[in-house]
Structure formats: C-alpha cells, structure tokens
Structure 1
Amino acid sequence: MSNEPAPPGGSEDPFAPSGVTWNRVSPKLTTARYVTGAIWLGIPFVGAVVLGVIFGGWVWSAAAVLALLGAWIAWLVPRQVRAYGYAEREDDLLVRRGVMFRSLVAVPYGRMQFTDVSSGPLTRKLGIAEVKLHTASASTDATIPGLPEAEAARVKDRLTQLGEARLAGL
C-alpha cells in the first residue's frame, strides 16, 4: 500500500467517491434482462436442438454452445444489475455501472440539455423504466435503467429542474 495521501476531494478508488450514497436500480431489471436473453438465445437453441435431432453428430455442438452462453448470462446479469447505481449530488449526477469494465459518469446539472424516460412493453409490465440524460457531448452515456416508474418520473423531474436552474445561472 502506498503512503501517498488520497487525491484532494476524493478517495483512492475513482469508482467509489467518498461521501457518496448510491441509489440502486430495481432487481426487476434482472428479470427483464433474463427474458430478453431467453428470447434471443431460446429461439436459436430450439433450432439447434431440432437440427441436432435431425442430423446428429457435431450439430449438437451449436446447442451446447448456446446452452453455455445461457448459463454465462444467468451468472452475469445479476452481477451487472447490482453494479448499477446513481447518486444525486449538489452539482452533478453520478452514474456507475459495470463489473469487469467499470464506468463512472459525472454529469454536471448545468450541462444537461434534456432527459428522457422510456419503457418498452416488457419493462412496462414489470413496472420499471429507463432515464437517459442528454448533453451536448455525444459520448456522454448517462443512462439509468431499471428504475421503478414513480422513481423514474421523480428523477426526470428533479434533473430537469436542477438542469434549468444551473443553466439559468450561467
């Protein structure tokens, strides 16, 4: 361990700023991702099994690969959902995600141009939505998936108010 002091205003870990309380996304996001994965993998898996029955031999390897991919997704998705978090600070919004490849995005409220709330048929059925922040930078990806619908509306309204207040102060 290094004896150097922590950087000013933060902890040693850039993905865990000191003094930040993280809000989690809904565990229902796991269900949504499982259903999506089952659809995308299930149809080819059934096709591979049918072809395996008809032709036999090495054709079964396609079904095996798809089954392994499904097992990997079943293991990975809950970890990814638990890794999502967001924090509303005084001057900016922090959004973190990722297990192996972690990401932390800080979006100053004054830089936000607008916010979206979106929900597809599956996520609507589960009662969750996604909030996306848009800035002038095309590379900014500040998306918070899997929020309960009421929380998504609250976050969108709060971010809109804070964005307008900070923009007016410029």
Structure 2
Amino acid sequence: MTNSPEASTPDSEPTATEPAATEPAATEPSAPGGTPADPTVAEPPATEPTAAEGAETSALDEGTFSRILEPRSAGRLPIGDGTWHQLARQYVWVQLISSGILFLLVLGAALAIWLIVGVGWVWIPAGIVLVILAITLAVTPRQARAYGYQLREDDLVFRKGILWQRVVAVPYGRMQLVDITHGPLDRGFGIAQLKLVTAAATTGVAIPGIRQDAAEQLRDTLIAVAETRRTGL
C-alpha cells in the first residue's frame, strides 16, 4: 500500500499571514555636529558668569537682614529684580548706642547748665535736640532695613530711605576709589563702611553696616570689575 500525497480540497484557502504593525521609528534630532542628541536631556546654553555675579556669595549675606522693607506709599520707588544684599544686623546696635550716648550727653549738659547756672531757656534748644534724637532712636531699626545694594552686570545699585528715598547706580568703569572705614564702635561689632568714589561727587555711594570680611571681599571684586570696565573720564 503506497502513501499518496494529501490532495488539496477546493474549500481550503491558503492563510495569509498579516504583517506585524510597525510604527515608524522616531528620528532623533541630531546635534549641529552630526551626532544624535538625547531628547530627554536638555543641556542649557553655556554662559560665562560675570565678574559681578562672582561676588554674590554667601559671605555678603551672612548675618544680614532677610529682605528689604519698602515704604507703603503707592508712589514708592520699585525695588526691581535681582539679588539685593542688606546691612548687617549689628549696624542697628551701633546706631542705637551712638545715638543713645549723644542723647545722654545732651541731657546731662542741659541739666548741668540749668542746675549750676540757673538758665531755664537752655531746655528749648536741648529739648529740640532730644526730640530729634528720640525719633532717630525709634526709626533706626526700620531705617536700617531700607538699605540695600545690588551687583548688576555693568553697575552697582544702592538704595536707602523711607520718607526720602534715594536710588543710585554707579557704573563699574567710573569708579576711582573704593574706601573702607570703621570707627572704634564699628570694630567692636565687626562692621565697616564701604565708600565708592567716582568722578562726579553726586554719584558717590557710602554703604554703611557691612561686615568687615564682606566689605573686603566686595572691595576686591569691585576693583577687579572696574579694571575690566574702565572708561574714559
């Protein structure tokens, strides 16, 4: 008995294999050099930090107030964007102690003149001075928090004042002298005053109440930036 091949019946149809559905491969964007770039990692553009931004370190903000207090009036000068550095907290104590000593001296002198000489009208000028000193003592903590300075790309901006506000922008290229001064009371609290001298006397800026190490760092930074931005007077 011989094995015969299986005969194909007319009812049987060949089964067509369906091709697998394939999605078009996503083309990766290529970098300018021809190498494919990873779409999941976006590299920010490389920017070189300016010399002024190098001074904005934690040393300028150690022991300072947290933020600048603005006047409440609608017509106040806006603070603007950027990082503002403030004065050291010890500045308030220095001002309170110095104004308090002056208050006691004026009061003692008026009492001595009144008791020894018997001049009663001495209380008129002494009273005016004492009232001014008392107001100064009261507003000193609020006034100290209105000071601030900002290091921008081309200039230093300084602001101060509550009732009489002042905002000064000093270009780095116009600086001629950076001076640091501090008296005995300032040295006792570890603060100093940094003064910027320019060709125009009206644009000079004196920043009080800066910590001594921060003042020295800021001085060196401003001198280095001023040399690179030097312009004709």
TM-score, normalised relative to structure 2: 0.61
* RMSD of aligned Cα (Å): 2.6
Instruction: Give the match for residue 83 of structure 1.
Output: 146
Match of 1:71 among 108, 123, 134: 134
SS at match of 1:24: coil
User: Residue 128 in 1 paired to residue 191 in 2?
Assistant: yes
User: Residue 47 in 1 paired to residue 47 in 2?
Assistant: no
Instruction: Give the match for residue 33 of structure 1.
Output: 95
Instruction: Give the match for residue 7 of structure 2.
Output: none
* Partners of 1:47 and 1:14 in 2: CA distance: 40
SS at match of 2:201: coil
Look up the equivalent residue of 1:45 and give its one-letter code: L
Structure number with higher helix proportion: 1
SS at match of 1:90: coil
* Partners of 1:109 and 1:37 in 2: CA distance: 34
Instruction: Give the match for residue 154 of structure 1.
Output: 217
SS at match of 1:50: helix
SS at match of 1:167: coil
How many equivalent residue pairs? 159
**Which moved further from structure 2: 85-94 or 44-53?**
44-53
Match of 1:95 among 147, 158, 172: 158
* Partners of 1:80 and 1:14 in 2: CA distance: 15
Match of 2:201 among 131, 138, 145: 138
Structure number with higher strand proportion: 1
Look up the equivalent residue of 2:191 and give its one-letter code: I
User: Residue 24 in 1 paired to residue 79 in 2?
Assistant: no
Change (3 A) 1:100 1:168: closer
TM-score, normalised relative to structure 1: 0.81
Uncovered stretches (5+) of structure 2, i.e. residues with no partner? 1-73
* Partners of 1:149 and 1:17 in 2: CA distance: 26
SS at match of 1:158: helix
Structure with higher Rg: it is 2
Percent sequence identity over aligned pairs: 37
Instruction: Give the match for residue 7 of structure 1.
Output: none
Uncovered stretches (5+) of structure 1, i.e. residues with no partner? 1-11
Determine if contact 1:49/1:63 at 8 Å carries over to the other structure.
Answer: no
Change (3 A) 1:107 1:57: closer
